[in-house]
Structure 1
Amino acid sequence: MFATTARADAGSVVEDEEFRLDELFSLLRESDTEDFYDIESEIVEIWLHSGSASMDLLFERAQYAMTDQNFPKAIEHLSALIDHAPEFAEAWNARATVYYLTDQYALSISDIQQTLLLNPRHFGALNGLGLIFEELGDFEGAYKAYTMAREIHPFLENVNEALIELRPLIDGTEL
């Protein structure tokens, strides 16, 4: 009985978060430049919670390792987290970030793809994909990724700047 109630409560929390995210993304598209920071922060705050205190602790340890630039330890923690909570998109995204920071672009792209399967509105993952494509000289791929990120979050400054810089490159006229 208690397990059923706990599962029902967990399902309700997920539904509430999805409803709140829908509201926040609508507000984000309609907001102006003064309001979007708070909206973005609330979206990210929801994304950062796995739904399990022990998984959140493992994620926190990975974040500390990333901050300390102990990338092997961060990958170890994030891989363990993904093994235990494969539906937690932010774990995939964080590991993609570590792979990016260690120039392991193929692994980063793979984790970004998984992030986007779990969370198609993950503007940070799309931004990261754009960065990787730029690094690899795939300016069309970068432009597409940044465009998708901007459709979700119109105020990402680096995305908007990258789109302006990339447009002439994909049109065949370099800056």
Structure 2
Amino acid sequence: MKRVVIALTLSALPFAGQAETCPDALDHSADIDALIAQVQGAASQADARVISNQMWELWTDAPDVRAQALLDQGMGLIQIGDLAGAYSILNALVDYCPDYAEGYNQRAFASYLRKDYAAALNDLDAAIDLSPTHIGALSGRALSLLGLERIDEARAALKHALQLNPWLAERALLEPGGALDPPGKDI
């Protein structure tokens, strides 16, 4: 039933007359770099969260109306737990806009929640190739590597993400007792 509603919703969107190819993704890299500098100097978790939300607004700014509708639909399905439906919609987004990093990142999130860590990792690598400072994709990569029990790689990936945003909640994984806490030396 949900898929029928999705198909009807998407078919009703004003796509008639639009090109069959996605326009270039907007280049928000300078704004993201400025926000990264701000989050690195944030005085508190609350301040960092505001800055992180501004990054997400830029990452989720799709190239056109059709791509935005697909992204919003896919993210909405993730929120209600329809991961198969979300994956399908986000797959359509990636097919339509193969140069838009957030399509891959959100599809990876749907895969991660389905515990398909290998598929998530493939999409996260694609997102990072397109947007090397996408902190969400970088931290998602660390979590996917952890899911695959590739601990050393997960630790390195998370440390890289934390260099960009030291306030990530995932930093707790590196704290003593965390899943990525480096093993100690026996005395």
Q: Does 1:20 align with 2:31?
A: yes
| Whole-angstrom CA distance in 1 between matches of 2:31 and 2:148 | 36
Tell me what 1:163 maps to.
174
| Whole-angstrom CA distance in 2 between matches of 1:89 and 1:78 | 12
Tell me what 1:80 maps to.
92
The TM-score normalised by the length of structure 2 is: 0.78
The TM-score normalised by the length of structure 1 is: 0.83
Answer yes or no: is the 8 Å Cα contact 2:109–2:120 preserved in 1.
Answer: yes
| Whole-angstrom CA distance in 1 between matches of 2:149 and 2:137 | 18
Query: Given the superposition, is the C-alpha separation of residues 172 and 70 from structure 1 closer, same or farther in structure 2, using an over 3 Å criterion?
Result: farther
Tell me what 1:101 maps to.
113
Answer yes or no: is the 8 Å Cα contact 2:40–2:164 preserved in 1.
Answer: yes
Tell me what 1:154 maps to.
166
- Greater share of helix: 1
Tell me what 2:66 maps to.
54
Task: Tell which has more relative contact order, 1 or 2 (C-alpha 8 A, sep 6+).
Answer: 2
How far does the alpha carbon of each residue in 1:128-159 deviate from its partner, in whole angstroms, 9 at most, with x for none? Answer: 222222223222111111101101111012x2
State the shift of 1:27 in Å: 1.1
| Whole-angstrom CA distance in 2 between matches of 1:124 and 1:21 | 12
| Aligned-CA RMSD value | 2.0
| Whole-angstrom CA distance in 1 between matches of 2:111 and 2:50 | 28
State the shift of 1:19 in Å: 2.3
Tell me what 2:79 maps to.
67
Tell me what 2:152 maps to.
140
SS of the residue corresponding to residue 167 of structure 2 reads coil
Percent of pairs with identical residues: 25
What is the identity, as a one-letter code, of the residue corresponding to 2:58? I
Number of positions where the alignment pairs a residue of Structure 1 with one of Structure 2: 160
Answer yes or no: is the 8 Å Cα contact 2:117–2:145 preserved in 1.
Answer: no
| Whole-angstrom CA distance in 1 between matches of 2:110 and 2:34 | 30
Q: Does 1:29 align with 2:40?
A: yes
What is the identity, as a one-letter code, of the residue corresponding to 1:149? A
SS of the residue corresponding to residue 168 of structure 1 reads coil
What is the identity, as a one-letter code, of the residue corresponding to 1:19? A
Answer yes or no: is the 8 Å Cα contact 2:145–2:154 preserved in 1.
Answer: yes
| Whole-angstrom CA distance in 2 between matches of 1:30 and 1:18 | 19
Answer yes or no: is the 8 Å Cα contact 2:39–2:51 preserved in 1.
Answer: yes
Answer yes or no: is the 8 Å Cα contact 2:26–2:62 preserved in 1.
Answer: no
Q: Which runs of 4+ in 1 moved over 3 A?
A: none
Tell me what 1:6 maps to.
none
| Whole-angstrom CA distance in 1 between matches of 2:78 and 2:166 | 28
| Whole-angstrom CA distance in 1 between matches of 2:98 and 2:148 | 28
